[in-house]
Amino acid sequence: MNEANPNSSLPGDDRWAREALTKLAFAAVAEQRRTRRWGIFFKLLFFVYLVALLVLAWPDKLASKAATMTKSHTALVRVDGLIASSTEASAKNIIEALRKAFKDGNTVGVILEINSPGGSPVQAGEIFDEIQKLRLQYPKIPVHAVASDVCASGGYYIAAAAQKIYANKASIIGSIGVRMDSFGFTDAIAKLGIERRAYTAGSNKDFLDPFKPANPEEIKHLQGMLDAIHQQFIGAVKQGRGERLKDNPEVFSGLMWTGEQSVGMGLVDALGSSRYVAEEVIGEKTIVDYTKHTRWLDRLLDETATSASVALMQRLGLEGGIPWR
C-alpha cells in the first residue's frame, strides 16, 4: 500500500511516533536521574543535620575526648558572663569543668579565666567552696585566676579562692558588696487611678511590694539580710587573700579599681594574661579548654522550665527579688 501510494503520510507518522516514544523514554530516564540526585542531596542534608545536632548536644564530651588525647597541659576553665543557675557560668557547669580538669592525670595546673560582673551569691559561693575543696584534694595542682575585662562582685568572689590572681592593667576589679534592686509605684498608681489588690496568707507575704508605701521594718529586715551576705563575701575574700590584702576600709565598700590599682591594694597578685600564667607561672604552654558549654537540648529544656516556673509564680503572686553580688 505504501508502494502504491508513495505520498502516503504513514511512514512519517511512524517516524513521529518513534521520536515521541524516544523523547518520552529519555524524559523518564532524566526524571529518574533528577529524582535520584535530589534523594542523595536530601540524605546528605539529613546526615549533616544529624551530625550538627550531636555536636550541639554533646560539645563537652567531644572536648573531653580531645583533652584526654593531649599529654601534659594547663587546664583552662572560663567563667564568662552572669553567674546564675540558668547561665553557662552556673555553679553546676563550672564545678563539673573544674573536677574534670583536676581529675585528668595530664593536668599540670589550672587557670580560671574570669570575665564576669558577678551574679548570684549562692552560685558564686558554691564555686568558691569547690575550688577550696579541690585545692586540698589535689595539692600538687596549682589553680590561678586570671581576670579578663571584668572580675567584679561574684566574679571576684570566685577568683579569691585561687592561689593567685592575675589581671590586665585595664581590667575592672572589685565591687565587693551586695545589692538588691526594686521600685516604688505608689504615686504612679494613685495618679492613674489604679487600685492594688493583693491577697496573702501570712502577715509579711507581701514583703517589699513595690505597689505599697515603703515599710521601715521591712527595709530594716532586708538590710540585715544584705549585711549578713556581705559579711559572708568579706569572709571568703579574707580567707582567700589573707595578709596580701591591704588595710584599706574601701576594699569592701563595693568600689571597683583597675587591675593596675588592684595590685597595690592586694586584690591582685600581678599583671598577666592566661598565656603568661600558663607559660611563666605554671610552666606548661599547652592549654586545653575544659569549659563546659550547656547542651543545646538542655538549654532549651531549662529555658522552657524556667519560663513556666516564673509564669506560675507570677500567677500565684509568689515572685520576689533575690540579692545579687
Q: Give the residue numbers marked as catalytic.
A: 153, 205
**Greatest extent of the chain over all pairs of C-alpha atoms, in Å:** 126
C-alpha cell at 146: 586570671
Distance CA 256, CA 267 (A): 10
Count of CB atoms situated within 10 Å of the CB of 51? 10
Distance CA 138, CA 265 (A): 29
Distance CA 66, CA 90 (A): 23
CA gyration radius for the chain?
33
In a 3-state reduction of DSSP, which class is residue 30?
A: helix
Task: Give φ, ψ of 170 to 5 degrees.
Answer: -100, 5
DSSP-assigned letters across all residues of 190-249: HHHTPPP----SSTTTTTT-TTS---HHHHHHHHHHHHHHHHHHHHHHHHHHGGGS-S-G
Give the start-end residues of each E strand in 82-142: 107-116
Query: What is the Cβ-side half-sphere exposure of residue 264, based on CA atoms within 13 angstroms?
Result: 5
CB 190 within 8 A of CB 211: no
> Cα 132 to chain center, whole Å?
22
Distance CA 269, CA 160 (A): 11
Distance CA 256, CA 226 (A): 19
The dihedral sign for the CA sequence 233, 234, 238, 239: negative
Helix and strand element counts for the chain (H, E): 10, 8
C-alpha cell at 87: 547561665
The enclosing H or E element of 296 equals helix 296-316
